[in-house]
Amino acid sequence: MKINFHGYKLNILEEILHINKLSKHFSGFKAVDQLSLSIKKGSVFGLLGPNGSGKSTTLGMLLGVIKPSGGDFKWFPRNPHSNPNLKIGAILDGPSFYDFLSGRQNLAICALIKKVPERKIDEVLQQVNLKERQHEKFKNYSLGMKQRLAIANALLADPEVLILDEPTNGLDPEGIADIRSLIIAISQSGKTILLASHLLDEVQKVCTDYGVLKKGRIIHSGPIGETQKHYNTLMLNCNELSILQSICEESDFCQNISFSPNGLLSVQVDDKLSVHDFHTYLIGRGITLTHLQEVSYQLEEEFIRLLKEQ
């Protein structure tokens, strides 16, 4: 079975990473606790969580730089590799290059270490849109350019998987938009991307799937928007809000009825019922709306709800 996302086909059956009860303890503190996840080939998976939730520790274990206290994980379960890290590109601690060298010179050193032909340098510079600035010194790059150079380095060996820890951290809106576009473009080439981030809006725009960590434990994982795929969220107002609330609560096609901070009634309506038919239903019950707005799904709302439930 395949679906389309941002213009590319995603095989949702093949597993590229299997995590089973992975744990890491530091002097009795459980940084990661019994984490289990499955990540599919070609997906863009966002690992979300508050600061200190275990995101970076998890990525460190998956890359072999942090030794787990328990559990295990397998990269490429269907096609095991003696050294899976050769098929993975990663940025864990942000851009780290020689300030006095140009972007190209820095990549040339990295290519030599990775035993990658020099022609790959031109390819990745083009891919991250740095070819015109390749001869400038790294110290003169903006933070966004430095991050793009780090991604270019991670792509040098043409990995199957790209791991990014807070790829837009500290960037201005333009830099965030650049990295977002780059991540989407990389995913369209068929690579699997695993990223940790606290910027929920950006995760919603680039990821196909996400998982939420809280105090080292996974509290939810699934496709973006999965929990609301059968409901439309409507913001309502009228002169008799208490009656409107009661009517919605008594119906069989409304759920998650609550008041928003601006006083509007938020209602999720089964998508089998059109907005027009729902409005007609309310009119038939004697309700005249003064406000009716259909809103799109927001990951931030889902994220906060999940944390509160736990």
Mean pLDDT of 299-310: 64
Q: Is residue 296 very low, low, confident or very high in pLDDT (cuts 50, 70, 90)?
A: low
Looking at the chain, the whole-number percentage of residues with pLDDT higher than 90 is 57
Q: Is residue 133 very low, low, confident or very high in pLDDT (cuts 50, 70, 90)?
A: very high
Mean pLDDT of 279-292: 92
**How far, in Å, CA of 24 to CA of 32, rounded?**
5
The helix-helix angle for 119-127 and 173-188 (nearest 10°) equals 120
Mean pLDDT of 103-130: 95
Q: Is residue 5 very low, low, confident or very high in pLDDT (cuts 50, 70, 90)?
A: very low
Using alpha carbons, select from 162, 59, 62, 153 the residue that is nearest to residue 114. 153
Model confidence pLDDT, tens digit, residues 8-31: 444 445 899 999 999 999 988 899
Domains and CATH numbers, the chain: 2-222 (3.40.50.300), 227-309 (3.30.70)
Which amino acid makes up residue 130? Answer: L
pLDDT value at residue 3: 46
Q: Is residue 1 very low, low, confident or very high in pLDDT (cuts 50, 70, 90)?
A: very low
Residue 60 has pLDDT above 60, yes or no: yes
| Residue 161 C-alpha from the chain's centroid | 14
C-alpha count within 13 angstroms, C-beta hemisphere, residue 285: 18
Q: What is the pTM of this model?
A: 0.73
Mean pLDDT of 36-48: 93
Is 134:102 a contact under the CB 8 Å cutoff?
yes
Q: Is residue 302 very low, low, confident or very high in pLDDT (cuts 50, 70, 90)?
A: low
For the ranges 17-21, 95-99, 195-199, the lowest mean pLDDT is seen at 195-199
Residue 185 has pLDDT above 60, yes or no: yes
Strand partners, 40: 15
pLDDT value at residue 111: 95
Neighbours of 38 (CB within 10 A): 15
In the chain, DSSP assigns E strands to 2-5, 8-11, 15-26, 29-40, 44-48, 70-75, 88-91, 161-165, 192-197, 209-214, 217-223, 231-238, 254-259, 265-270, 289-295
Which amino acid makes up residue 164? Answer: L
Which amino acid makes up residue 148? Answer: R
pLDDT value at residue 299: 63
Model confidence pLDDT, tens digit, residues 210-255: 998 988 999 888 888 654 455 678 899 999 999 999 999 999 889 8
Q: Residue 12: phi, psi to the nearest 5? A: -90, 5
Region for residue 57 given its phi and psi (left: phi exceeds 0; alpha: psi -120 to 50; beta: otherwise): alpha
Any idea how long the chain is?
Answer: 310
